[in-house]
Amino acid sequence: MLDDGKIELRVTEATKTAIHTTVSVSGRLSSHKGVNLPEDTIPGSALTEKDLKDLAFILKQDVDFIALSFVQTQDDIITLKNTLKIRRKLSRKLKSRKPLQTLPKF
Neighbours of 2 (CB within 10 A): 17
What is the span of the domain harbouring residue 29?
A: 1-36
The DSSP 8-state label assigned to residue 27 in this structure reads -
Average pLDDT across the chain, whole number: 80
The answer to whether residues 64 and 31 belong to one domain is no
Written as one letter, the residue type at 37 is: L
At residue 90's C-alpha, the angle toward residues 89 and 96, to 5°, is 160
Give the residue from 33, 32, 39 showing the smallest Cα distance to 11: 39
- 95 located within any domain: yes
* Residue 12 confidence (pLDDT): 94
Residue with the bigger pLDDT between 102 and 68: it is 68
Q: Are residues 61 and 25 in the same domain?
A: no
User: Between the CA of residue 18 and those of 44, 55, 66, 82, 89, what are the distances in Å?
Assistant: 20, 33, 34, 37, 39
In-domain check, residue 42: no
Tell me: do 59 and 86 sit in the same domain: yes
Q: Is the pTM of this model over 0.85?
A: no
**pLDDT tens digits for range 28-71:** 999 988 887 777 766 777 788 898 888 888 888 877 778 887 77
Output the 3-class SS for 39-50. CCCCCCCCCCHH
Residue 13, burial from CB neighbour count under 10 angstroms (0-12, 13-18, 19+):
exposed
The pLDDT confidence band at residue 102, using thresholds 50, 70 and 90, is low
